[in-house]
Structures are given as C-alpha cells and as structure tokens.
Structure 1
Amino acid sequence: MQLPTGKKVYFSSDNHLGAPNQQFSKPREAKFVAWLDEVKHDAAAIFLLGDLFDFWFEYKHVVPKGFVRVLGKLAEIKDSGIPIYFFVGNHDLWMDDYFEQELGIPVYHRPKEFSFNHKTFLVGHGDGLGPGDKGYKRMKKVFTNPFSKWLYRWLHPDLGVPLAQHLSVKNKLISGDEDAKFLGEENEWLAQYAKRKLESKHYDYFIFGHRHLPMEIKVGKNSTYFNLGDWINFYTYGVFDGEKFELKEYKK
C-alpha cells in the first residue's frame, strides 16, 4: 500500500477487555474507543495485534457478553472504508469467523507481512515465537487442537465463559503472560526471533504485542523490533506516517 498524503497506519495491542472484570475494564474500553474515534480521521489502516479481550470464545450461536462500544466503533470505522486487521492473541486465540462475518475484519492466526511506502513489516501478536516459553507452547497446541475446541463447546456458556475468565487471570501457564519486566536487548525473545527472521529475509519493522512493555530494539542495520506495550498500564500504540514508525502514548 502506498499511503495517501497525510494518512497514517495505526497499531494497537493488549487491551484485555473484561479483566479483571467487566466493571473495571469499562474505563479502559471507553479510552480505547476515544482513541479509535480520534485516529479514524487520518487512518489509512488500523492493526489490532491481539488480546483485545481477556477471553474470547465463539460458540456456534453465542459470543461472550459485553464489549458493545468497542465492537460498534470498529464496525463504524470499517464501514467507513478504513481497513482493519486483527491478529489473534493468546487470550483470544479461540476467535473464529465472527469478526469476519459481522464486521468484515480479517482475522490472522500467524504473523503476516505487509508493505507500506516500500517499507516492509512483519506483524503479529508475538505469543509462542522465539526461544523459551516452552510450557505455553505446549499448552497452545492443546488449546488450538480442533478436538479441544469441540469439547469445550459442550460446556454451557454460563459455565464455560466464567471458568475461562478465571483461568485467564489466575493461571500464567494458560494465559502465556510473563511478568512485564524488561529482559535486556539480548534476552528479549521476540527480538531474538526477529534477528533469526532477518537471516533469511529483510524487514524494516517487526511489530508485536504480548510483552505488555513498550520497547524499541535495533535488530539489524536497517531493522527495528517494536513492542506496542498495552492498554492497561501504558496506553501506548504505534503509528507509521509513511516515513518512520513511532511509539506514542494516548493521554486523554
């Protein structure tokens, strides 16, 4: 995509709406909706890099209750002609085709390449990539197995949703989350993943979430890894103006 003059590409990740419960996540939802309402005026595209919800599961005829304001705003923006791309995170990895059918938003389960103004991007949530995190990687294989999803659908939503919400908050192995502590440029595993990818192909930018820490790390002579942070503690997002990528904080 060649960006029109004055247009930008926006990136956001890790809202965890619904955590620790609906009541406490509502102010965060309102703030995120205000951000969406603001960026729509000059957005050429919007990328949501996963964990928009702290838990999401699509039964055949049911999706989790709540999140009406953010879903409505996404529908409005998409209907206005602005493309939105959604990447599944470890908390909403059971997303299926609801976003695609109801909102017209494509959903990706793996990192994907994009090009804007001749700059190449590798974009994804970031869970299960790079070295380490072996416990979560094993758990993810179980969760994404079609038979596991089929079994879970037999739980009534009044049982299945509260159970999953509880485990999402309490069990770090299931959630895949780590303490948000900077490990150092040489030890950040998504930076290591980016360096390995550069061995076979050049990317100008690697854009991920999952770590809940806004960070910028040079991984090659002309390549940079950015982590978007989150909308719990930092309220940070990424923006590409056609020439450079920056991390910014939403302060309203």
Structure 2
Amino acid sequence: MTISPNKKIYFASDQHFGAPTPELSFPREQKFVAWLDEVKKDAECIFLLGDLFDFWFEYKTVVPKGFVRVLGKLAEIRDSGIPIYFFVGNHDLWMNDYFQKELNIPVYHDNQEYEFNGKTFLIGHGDGKGPGDKGYKRMKKVFTSPFSKWLYRWLHPDLGMKLAQYLSVKNKLISGDADVKFLGEEKEWLVQYSKRKLETKHYNYLVFGHRHLPMVITVGENAQYVNLGDWIGYFTYGVFDGEKFELKEY
C-alpha cells in the first residue's frame, strides 16, 4: 500500500472497555471516541490490535450490551471509506463475524504482514507469542477450541457475561495479562519473539499490543519492536507517516 499525501496510518490497542465496571470505563470510552474523531481527519487506515473490550463473546443472535459510542464511531469511520483492521486479543478472542457483517471491519486471529511505502510490518496482538507463558498458551488452546465455544454458548448470556467478567479480573492465567513492569530486553518475551522472527524474514516494524507498556526497542538492523501501550493508564497510540513510526500520547 502506498500512503496518500498528508495521510497517516494509526494503531491502538488494549482499551479494555467495560473494566473494571462499565461506569468507570465510560470516561475512557469517551476519550477513545474523541481520538477516533481526531485521527479520522487524516487517516489512511486504522489498526486496532485487540482487547478493545475486556470481554466479548458472540452468541448466535446476541453480542455484549454496551459500547454503542465506540461501535457507532467505528461504523461512521468505516462508512466514510477509511479501512479499519481488527486483531483479536486475549480478552476478545471469542470474536467471530459480527464486526465483519455489521461494520465491514475484517477480523484477524493471528499476525498479518503489510508493506507501506516500502516499509514492512508484522502486526498482531501479541498474546501467546515468544518463549515461556506456557500456562496461558495451554489455556488459550482450550478456550479457542470449537468444543469450548459450543459449550459456552449453552450458558445464558447473563450468566456467561458475569462468569467471564469475573475470570477476566480475577484469573490472570486465563486473561493472559503479564506484569506491567518492564522486565528488560532479555525477559520481554515479545522482544525475544521479534528477534526470532527476524532470523527468517526482515521487518522494519513489529507492532504488538498486549503488554500494556508503550515501548520502541531496536531488535535488528533497521528493525524495531513496538508495543502500543494501552488506554487504561497510558493512552498511547502509534502513527506511521510513510517514513517513520512514532508512539504518541493522547
């Protein structure tokens, strides 16, 4: 893709709307909608890298209540012709085709590769990647199996949502949330994952969410690992203007 003159590509991740309660989450939702309103003015496209919601499950005819302002703004932006790409995170990994059908937003369940103005990108949420984190990786296999999803659908939505919200907050093994302190390059598993990916193919930018820590780390020659941070404590986002990638705070 060639970025049009005076246009930019925007990236954001880990909003976790609905946490810890809908009432406390609401100001963050308003702030994110304001950001979307601002970036739509010069956006070539927008990448959302997962955990937009603290929990999301699509029953056959039911989706979680709430988030109308965010969903409406995404629909407005997409209807205006600006592409939006959504990557499933560990808190919304049960997303299916609702975004595709209702908002015309494609949903990806794993990393995707892109090229913008000659710069190569590897983009994904980042959960379950790299060495370690074996407990979460096992849990993810269980939770993403067709049988688990079929079984969960038999729960009444009110019960299913309440159970999921409890687990999201209380059980860090299930949620996959890591310690939000910087661990150092050798212990940051997404840094190690990025370096390993570069052994087989070069990317200029490897962009992920999940860690909730905004950081840009050089991982190879003309190659940077970028973590987008979050919209809970940092309110950070990425922007690529066709030449360079920057992290900014809203």
Q: TM-score, normalised by structure 1?
A: 0.99
- Quick one: which amino acid aligns to residue 19 of structure 1? A
- 2:191 paired residue number: 191
In the TM superposition, what is the alpha-carbon distance from 1:178 to its structure 2 partner?
1.1
In the TM superposition, what is the alpha-carbon distance from 1:76 to its structure 2 partner?
0.2
Residues 25-44 of structure 1 show CA distances to partners (whole Å, capped at 9, x for unaligned) of 00000000000000000000
Residue 128 of structure 2 is aligned to residue 90 of structure 1: no
Q: How does 1:91-130 map to 2 (within 5 A)?
A: 91-130=91-130
Residues 116-144 of structure 1 show CA distances to partners (whole Å, capped at 9, x for unaligned) of 00100000000000001100000000000
Residues 80-115 of structure 1 show CA distances to partners (whole Å, capped at 9, x for unaligned) of 000000000000000000000000000000000011
In the TM superposition, what is the alpha-carbon distance from 1:152 to its structure 2 partner?
0.2
Residue 206 of structure 2 is aligned to residue 206 of structure 1: yes
Distance 1:222 1:188 in 2: 20
Residues 13-59 of structure 1 show CA distances to partners (whole Å, capped at 9, x for unaligned) of 00000000100000000000000000000000000000000000000
- 1:136 paired residue number: 136
- 2:35 paired residue number: 35
- 1:178 paired residue number: 178
Percent of pairs with identical residues: 78
- Quick one: which amino acid aligns to residue 203 of structure 2? Y
* DSSP-derived class of the 1:5 partner: coil
Give the aligned CA root-mean-square deviation in angstroms.
0.4
* DSSP-derived class of the 1:180 partner: coil
Residues 172-194 of structure 1 show CA distances to partners (whole Å, capped at 9, x for unaligned) of 00100012010112221101101
Residues 214-250 of structure 1 show CA distances to partners (whole Å, capped at 9, x for unaligned) of 0111100110000000000000000000000000000
- 1:53 paired residue number: 53
- Gaps of at least 5 residues in structure 1 are none
* DSSP-derived class of the 1:121 partner: strand
Residue 151 of structure 2 is aligned to residue 166 of structure 1: no
Distance 1:168 1:141 in 2: 17
Distance 1:50 1:233 in 2: 16
> Structure 1 stretches (4+) deviating beyond 4 angstroms?
none
- Gaps of at least 5 residues in structure 2 are none
* DSSP-derived class of the 1:212 partner: coil
In the TM superposition, what is the alpha-carbon distance from 1:160 to its structure 2 partner?
0.4
* DSSP-derived class of the 2:163 partner: helix
